[in-house]
Structure 1
Amino acid sequence: MRSMLLAGAALAAAAPACAQDIKPLVEARARYEHVEQDGFAEDAEALTLRVRAGVQASTGPWTALVEAQGTMAVVDDFYDGLHGSATRPLVADPENVALYRAQLQYKTKAFAATAGRQRIALEDERFVGNGPFRQNAQTFDAVRVELTPIKGLKADVSYAWSVRTIWGVEGTGARQPAIRGDNIFANLSYATPVGTLTGFAYLIDQDEAAVQGYRLSSQSYGVRLAGVQKLSAVAKLSYQASYATQSEYGRNPNDYRADYYLLDAGLEVSGFKLGAGYEVLGADEGVALTSFQFPLGTNFKFQGWADKLLTTPPDGVRDLYGSLGYGWKAAGPFKGVTLQAAYHRFESDRLVRHYGDELNLLASGKLGKTTLSVRYADYHADLFATDTRRLWLQLDWAL
């Protein structure tokens, strides 16, 4: 049945003879990444290009699409996680040519069903996301159903039998091209006057022994509140709070329980943005992979951009952070210009040891159909990992 769903979605997308609306899908990205990391004699230099192209066809409530992607390295003085020896820092963008999406969707005002290879990004993508920052983003072979029976109430349930990873078609070992399994993502949300309240359950059951010996299989249950309140004509307050508990699931040989907490608030006044938050990824007994994990989340968005905490350490993480930014609707020829700075202080949850601190900087703006961005991360290690500095220069273009 899984193969039939994928094949049906691909055929429907590739043969839109009766479609009323046909739309080409084209986007490209060029990114330069430089990494200096203690412990390596040489820095990493990566210039990678990614192109995605496809077609979307629609008729009435039906939409089908197929999209391929290709990634190549113009400058490859880096370790891509798959090829060669790790004599330079890791830049997780291996060369790749693959089917990115192939899906068929039926959608009305109150109901939507999507089958095939697709992007799934739930809530803030902490638990389930697309990982869009990496050149080979994460997609899911899945069936997803979204139901809105009454205004403000929404049920969102997905069954995914394969996760197509960022490692591409040549992935191997613990970095597989795809991770098979039986994964269920379920959200039930309701829009209240103070924000959207969501109850969630994420059941991750991985079938690849090479990927940490099934130790990333887990069940997470929790609740999240996220909202925005307008304070005046030029000011608004955003906030979110979340709690979850996680334990082993499926064939995971570990026996553990860990908790997750998040408190976050942001104030925007006349273009200025000020934010602060506290996120805790709890630990059990200090054994590897018994702390709170996010194997399917968009982890680059959280806990700094230097990629030091993509896998939660055995003793968990406490992340106290603050941010300051400013945005212009237009600045010269650029639209949507943003400047942002964020600072993180990392500690372990168990035994409360100082891991290190990180500074993140971002500048971005849009010129026509092209978005330009400069990003920088500087991690100063204390008792975890090593000093690391990363610089990105990036161009994104979309039709």
Structure 2
Amino acid sequence: MNNHALKPLYIALLALSAPLAQAEDISQLFNDGKLILDARYRYEHVDQDNTFDHANAQTLRTRVGFQTGKWYGLSGLIEADNTSRIGDASYNNTRNGQGNYSVVADPDGSEINQALLRYDFAQGNLVVGRQRINLDNQRFVGGVAWRQNEQTYDGLLGQLKPIDKLTLTYAYIDNINTIFGPGDNRFDNRTNPANIEGHSHLLNAQYVVSPALTVTAYNYLLGLDNIAASNASPLGSLASQTNGLRANGTLGAFSYAAEYAQQKDYADNPLDLDSDYYLAELGYTWQGVLFKGGYEVLGGDDGAGNRAFQTPLATKHAFQGWADVFLTTPADGIEDAYVGVTAPLWGGQLQAWYHDFDAEQGSDSYGDEIDLSYGHPIPGVKGLVALAKYATYSSDDEALTVDTDKFWLQLQYTY
């Protein structure tokens, strides 16, 4: 038999053997897996100019889990958290009954933080189960990772990249595991349930035109049944539909962001919502130092109840100052004018920010705030980082807010 006669046979054998050569062993799920181990100690001090006693909280958050490898695009993750108090309970963690102290919202307890299955394919991925969801800059949907008990979501999330530079994201959520978990008791209230029930849909479309321009459009339908904007508000008053458009990018040493969103009521919300959100931000980087200034507005509404623009699923600690005075937007809305700097220093990172807060409706001034932080890796121990952080808020409207000082010392180890 000549070589020409054998050539078709060789081609057939190669075609048959290609899938076999690419066959994957299910043992890859474990052999390529990764252990998750994280421990975070934190001391938090809160001093407010009101009748509450100063809070002093020492807590330890430990996290263990396992991230599998991939087998034909399939993978899984399981992760458990425990938050434990160290020393005296001289703070109100929202579940311990220490109502005479200021709040440090880190309840004790253990919980499955994430438990999910994931499928990756050429054009995207699909995730089912309890998972972390952080969209864009987390202004509307995030994990609140600053608190010891992270916020995670039960549901389904899919991402599709039908063409280059375009990412389409959809998520369906039927339960939200909040920072106030793992469980409720007689000391919780309608503003801080351990689990937020309801049916929510998140749609996000992002197109990267160039490094100078990324455009994101979003539609967030939040069906939040068992939570209220305040203890005096009806349940369901945070259910909303938010539609927005964001543009951000970098131009040489400059960076910018501009955003607009409109919020209306959704599902069974008994309130008639209609408010707006605006953001304009400009940054400049010089020799590794980032200077940034911005102006953010969450609109108010002078109708019955608090119908201002709210962001109940946001990582709120990252916005409007670290003292967390405005976790709920006041009824008259809020205008936040801020400037700050982030700079490398002695092998670590220094941050300093100044905020000036005013009412969006009317001419009232709420107050101002200064925030400082410094984080540094601990020499000789890979994965160990120390952080010192301080926030001081000075009130101009004692009927709404009070002077607040907060201080944190933190040590975190990540394997």
Task: Give me the TM-score of the superposition, normalised by structure 2.
Answer: 0.87
Deviation of the 1:17 alpha carbon: 8.5
SS at match of 2:376: strand
Task: Supply the distance in 1 between the matched residues of 2:78 and 2:329 (Cα, whole angstroms).
Answer: 35
The CA distance in 1 between the partners of 2:291 and 2:227, in whole Å, is: 44
Range with greater deviation from structure 2 (40-49 or 61-70): 40-49
- Compared with structure 1, are the counterparts of its residues 209 and 397 closer, same or farther at alpha carbon in structure 2 (3 Å cutoff)? closer
Partner of 1:4: none
Q: Take 2:27 and 2:145, find their aligned partners in 1: how far apart are those partners?
A: 28
CA distance in structure 2 between the partners assigned to 1:254 and 1:53 by the alignment? 42
Residue 146 in structure 1 maps to residue 159 in structure 2: yes
Alignment of 1:215 onto 2:221: no
Alignment of 1:50-89 (within 5 A): 50-60=61-71, 61-75=73-87, 76-89=89-102
Alpha-carbon separation, structure 1, partners of 2:159 and 2:377: 33
| Matched residue type, 2:403 | D
Alignment RMSD, CA only? 1.6
* Runs of 5+ consecutive residues of structure 1 not aligned to the other structure: 1-14, 231-235
For residue 377 of structure 1, the aligned residue among 380, 391, 394 is: 391
Name the CA distance, whole Å, in 2 between partners of 1:135 and 1:304: 18
Q: How does 1:1-399 map to 2 (within 5 A)?
A: 19-40=30-51, 42-60=53-71, 61-75=73-87, 76-171=89-184, 172-174=188-190, 175-193=192-210, 194-208=212-226, 212-230=234-252, 236-328=253-345, 331=346, 335=347, 337-367=348-378, 368-383=382-397, 384-399=400-415
Secondary structure at the counterpart of residue 51 of structure 2: coil
SS at structure 2 position matched to 1:323 = strand
Aligned mates of 2:389, 2:264 — CA distance in 1: 35
- CA distance in structure 2 between the aligned counterparts of 1:261 and 1:48, rounded to whole angstroms: 36
- The question of whether the paired residues in 2 share the 8 Å contact of 1:216 and 1:289 is answered with no
Give the structure-1-normalised TM-score: 0.90
Return the offset for 1:327. Answer: 1.1
| Greater share of residues in strand | 1
Query: How much identity, in percent, do the aligned residues show?
Result: 36
Cα displacement (A) at 1:210: 6.8
- Indicate if the aligned counterparts of 1:173 and 1:210 stay in contact, CA closer than 8 A: no
Amino acid at match of 2:261: A
| Residues 146-170 of structure 1: per-residue CA shift (max 9 Å, x gap) | 0011111110010000000101122
SS of the aligned residue for 1:86 comes to coil
Task: Report deviation, 1:56.
Answer: 1.2
Report the 3-state secondary structure (helix = DSSP H, G, I; strand = E; otherwise coil) of the residue aligned with 2:86. strand
Give 1:41 deviation, angstroms: 5.4
2:133 touches 2:152 (CA, 8 Å); kept in 1?
A: yes
Rounded to whole Å, the distance in 2 between the matches of 1:109 and 1:374 is 43
| CA-CA distance at 1:318 after TM superposition | 0.2
Distance 2:34 2:278 in 1: 42
Q: SS where residue 392 of structure 1 aligns? A: strand
- 1:183 counterpart letter in structure 2: S
- 3-state SS of paired residue (1:300): helix
**Is the Cα–Cα contact under 8 Å of residues 364 and 371 in structure 1 kept in the other structure?**
yes
Query: Unaligned 5+ residue runs, structure 2?
Result: 1-25
Structure 1 residues 68-77 or 128-137, which shifts more?
68-77
Structure 2 residue aligned with 1:9 = none
Larger Rg, first or second structure (1 or 2) = 2
SS in 2 for 1:305: coil
Is the 8 Å Cα contact of residues 288 and 313 (structure 1) preserved in structure 2? no
